[in-house]
Structure 1
Amino acid sequence: MNNPGRILIVDDERKLVRLLCNVFTSTGFKVLTCLSPEQAAGQVALEQPDLIILDIMFPGSMDGYAICREIREFSSVPIIMLTAKVRDADKISGFDAGADDYVTKPFNSKELVARVRALLKRAQVTQPAEGLTDLHLGRLRIQPANHRVSVDGAEVHLTPIEFNLLIKLAQHHDQVMTHEQLLTSVWGQDYANDTEYLRAFIYNLRKKIEIDPSHPNLIIRCPGVGYSLVTPREE
């Protein structure tokens, strides 16, 4: 693949930025860099990269979580958080902020490139609708052919992975999809056991499509098994 994409690296650690530039340019990517967290969102809007690699820890008041949330206000560009923070709680915070993947330092360069390629592929290919027509579930309307989702007539902005996850649930609505089924169909076989990914993305989907995410009536959890997109009870 001669032109796999344009990557924006947002990190204030110059030595690491140089390393990442070498890794990705040697594999054919065009690399852009941003050392200032305050300028990151503006550079995303200006350059429109295909993927962002984002650190979490920056000096000052603005961290990677805040940058990610700011970018998500206007863009669904894939974001990988690359950080020394290794706690599960930190990963969940990253996903909650809108990140698509999370890689901890120290990292293997070949694995990072592979994850970048996989994420770009997932972001570019939406789930096939497999005959699924427009679906109405209470206030929720899903239009697979137009890649549109709305609640009470107002369009809801979903990232490509969020849309793929919702489509997979919609294809089997009113049925329980197991954790493994959802993870392998949306993220791939390598993510079959990464239930924290699924939990975080379900949480984000609920925030966008549920009236009360803390008491969901669309995406229902089946403890120890998986999730189901259901026809809501009459309110």
Structure 2
Amino acid sequence: MTRVLVVEDDPQLVRALKINLQARRFEVEEASTGGTALRIAAARKPDVIILDLGLPDMDGLEVIRGVRDWSRVPILVLSARHTSEDKIRALDAGADDYVTKPFSMDELLARLRAATRRQQAPEGRSEDAVVTTEGFTVDLAAKKVLRGERSVRLTPTEWHLLELLISHPGRLMTQRRLLLEIWGPTAGDSTNYLRVYMAQLRRKLEADPSHPRYLITEPGMGYRFEP
């Protein structure tokens, strides 16, 4: 059973989320403060976290950064903050998706399912599938990335984007396909998500992120991994 940690200080919303999640056979943990959320996340190891940013003891961004110090668990932000800057700050901090309040429960559940799918190992991979470039090495089976001898920590969404690109070397991956594969049909035309995550991957993997060698943008179309 998939374990979801709901971090939210509105008891009515927590109750609604709990009812809907348990009806779909999710196991639900809850926390009303950031400190409690960090303790529960460390002790219970949830499969996915639903996180409000407006918590009484700390900003939700601090919770994201605290979790990212040790875990790649998917984090789905659920917040009344709706500007592009708010979303980009959360994604930059390590969140995997962002849903604004008020929200559709069906959309939230679809995004939650997409987040849990991203954690599943890809089927049909060779156990020794390793992609090596002069700049970095990617072990698909172990889900590890190295730059030289240094391990590179990626969020689940960063990993999924990188995996999709390097699994199709030299081929254009359209924005629409990447959005569908990573966030599902509810992502629509959220190309800003792709820009944020591609920028993060380049900062982590490219020697010169402003002039990428491996992770190439095809303007107006999509992205390509050039081995």
TM-score normalised according to structure 2 size: 0.88
Distance 1:127 1:99, change over 3 A: farther
The match for 2:155 is 159
Match of 1:123 among 119, 126, 129: 119
Deviation, 1:206, is 1.9
**1:22 maps onto 2:27 in alignment:** no
RMSD between aligned alpha carbons? 2.3
| Aligned CA distance change for structure 1 residues 170 and 127 (closer, same or farther; 3 Å) | farther
**CA distance in structure 1 between the aligned counterparts of 2:220 and 2:125, rounded to whole angstroms:** 27
Tell me, which stretches of 5 or more residues in structure 2 are unaligned? none
Of 48, 51, 62, the match for 1:51:
48
Q: CA deviation at 1:168?
A: 1.5
Residue number in structure 1 paired with 2:93 = 97
**1:40-67 alpha-carbon deviations (Å, 9 max, x no partner):** 222211011111110011245x211121
Question: Which residue identity is paired with 2:5?
Answer: L
Runs of 4+ displaced beyond 6 Å = none
Aligned length: 227
Alignment of 1:70-89 (within 5 A): 70-89=66-85
Specify whether residues 109 and 178 from structure 1 end up closer, same or farther in structure 2 by C-alpha distance, changes over 3 A only.
closer
Q: CA deviation at 1:92?
A: 1.6
Deviation string 1:99-129 (CA, Å, 9 cap, x unpaired) is 1111111112233223212221222243754
Gaps of 5+ in 1: none
Letter in 2 for 1:14: P
1:196 aligned onto 2:196: no
**In 2, are the aligned partners of 1:123 and 1:161 still within 8 Å (CA)?**
no
Q: What percentage of aligned pairs have identical amino acids?
A: 39
Q: Given residue 106 of structure 1, which amino acid in structure 2 is its aligned partner?
A: P
Residues 10 and 55, structure 1, Cα contact 8 Å, conserved in 2: yes
CA shift, 1:147, in A, is 2.2
Partner of 1:32: 29
Q: 1:12 aligns with which of 1, 5, 9?
A: 9
